[in-house]
A = this chain, B = another copy of it.
Amino acid sequence: MPYEFWYWTGIPGRGEFVRLALEAGGIAYKECARDPAIGDEGLVKHMQSGQRAQPPFAPPYLVADGITIAQTANILLFLGERHDLAPRDVAGRLWVNQLQLTIADMVAEAHDTHHPIDAARYYEEQKPEAAQRADVFRSARMPKFLDYFEHALADGAWLAGTRWTYADLSLYQLVKGLLFAFPKRMKTLAPGYPKVMALYQGVADLPELQNYFASPRHLPFGEGIFRHYPELDGE
């Protein structure tokens, strides 16, 4: 039976980190809320259905073998172990999880550049604060995180060992989001991070992902975590 995957219908969002692992791993799954009879309303209803023993706080979540698994990094930990998308030894498994959590930290900070005060209100209601926070993100946080990932890639083309892991797919998605949201800043920074950019290209070229990238399952960025507001970008 394919896994049930639950996420909002209109955006790549945090769901995309899971989707890339499912697709690159050749793992059968059903994107439940994209059934027109379900949609985002059906997702909320499903998530809040009271019988669930181990409820999710928020999408994305996966239902696998009767277990509900939420939190992006936790879903990926499960997929990594079950489908060999990460090293099997303790050190390698923890290293990939550690990287995934650091990627998640940067994703959360990228989101907060356009929603520094209230995730539930419009960007237009927090523009001055967003400008300030985006400035800090571009000048201090982007180099700090990218330095770290470049250093983590010192030993090779992939983050752990000689083949890609789910953390490599996630780092690709993070860089893709940064290129979309902060094209000017990334144009300045990218030459300083040759290993990160090579990993980005390496995942973009993975044979395992070409069908997915060409399919309608693959959504463009829009009103999600990564947004392109020219006024928040800068060299």
Contact = CB atoms under 8 A, between A and B. Distances in A.
Contacts of A73: 73, 101
Interface string A123-154: 00000010011001000100001001001100
Q: Which among A70, A98, A129 has the highest number of chain B CB atoms within 10 Å?
A: A98
A152 B95 CA distance: 29
A98 B105 CA distance: 15
Q: How large is the interface on A (under 10, 10 to 19, 20 to 34, 35 or more residues)?
A: 35 or more
Contacts of A12: none
B148 A57 contact: yes
Q: How many copies does the complex hold?
A: 2
A67 B91 contact: yes
Interface stretch (A21-29, A112-120, A204-212, A223-231): A112-120
A94 interface: yes
A117 B71 CA distance: 25
A53 interface: yes
A214 interface: no
A155 interface: yes
A140 B101 CA distance: 25
Contact of A117 (B74, B91, B133, B151): B133
B71 A98 contact: yes
Nearest to A91: B67
A117 B74 CA distance: 28
A98 B117 contact: no
Interface in A79-115: 90-91, 94-95, 97-98, 101-102, 105, 108, 112
12 contacts: A54-B91, A54-B95, A57-B102, A57-B145, A57-B148, A71-B97, A74-B97, A74-B101, A77-B77, A105-B108, A117-B129, A117-B132
